Structure 1
Amino acid sequence: METRVAVMSMIVENSDTVETLNGLLHEYGQYIIGRMGIPYRARDINIISIAIDAPQDTISALAGRIGSLSGVSVKTAFSNQKGGTA
């Protein structure tokens, strides 16, 4: 199946969701190229970015599941390049 490269950015404002979010990222770990997490203690939020190479449906499913978590915002930017296999 054709894959896309994307960057997903998340703002976590509810620390109660961190464990669930980490579980989701672990579930999709086979597709994740890299991850960066920044705790912003001055505002009591966490900023997380992941680079992912997966079928577009898989990326959209992950974004939807993350977006449904309370206190979590997510945005995804896709590369125009297509190719590879998952």
Structure 2
Amino acid sequence: MNRIGIIAVIIEEHRESVGEVNRILSEYSGCIHARMGVPNKEKDIYVISLVVEVTTEQLGAITGRLGKLKGVTVKSMMTNKTY
């Protein structure tokens, strides 16, 4: 069962991780309803927020892969209602 939620991705000081983050998100593009990226090049921080509709397994796969990347922090919040 799918749930709607939000995934926050923060990339700090590791621009080389940006390309891999984008590749992973492209793989899951069918689950992503909205995406907003806010780069702060002066502070070398990139923030990406995603609105997703995923299963628990998909959420774990996305956040797990992203969280293993150097300089990447990932947090998620999901609704309790399933669709």
Structure 2 length normalisation: TM-score? Answer: 0.94
Amino acid aligned to 1:57? E
Q: 1:24 offset after TM fit, Å?
A: 0.2
For structure 2, list consecutive stretches of 5 or more residues without a partner in the other structure.
none
CA–CA distance in structure 1, aligned partners of residues 66 and 36 of structure 2: 16
Asked whether 1:79 is paired with 2:79, we answer: yes
Structure with more of its chain in strand, by fraction = 1
Q: 1:60 offset after TM fit, Å?
A: 1.2
Identity percentage over the alignment? 33
Q: Which residue of 1 aligns with 2:11?
A: 12
For structure 1, list consecutive stretches of 5 or more residues without a partner in the other structure.
none
Q: 1:42 offset after TM fit, Å?
A: 2.8
CA–CA distance in structure 2, aligned partners of residues 35 and 57 of structure 1: 20
CA–CA distance in structure 2, aligned partners of residues 50 and 24 of structure 1: 13
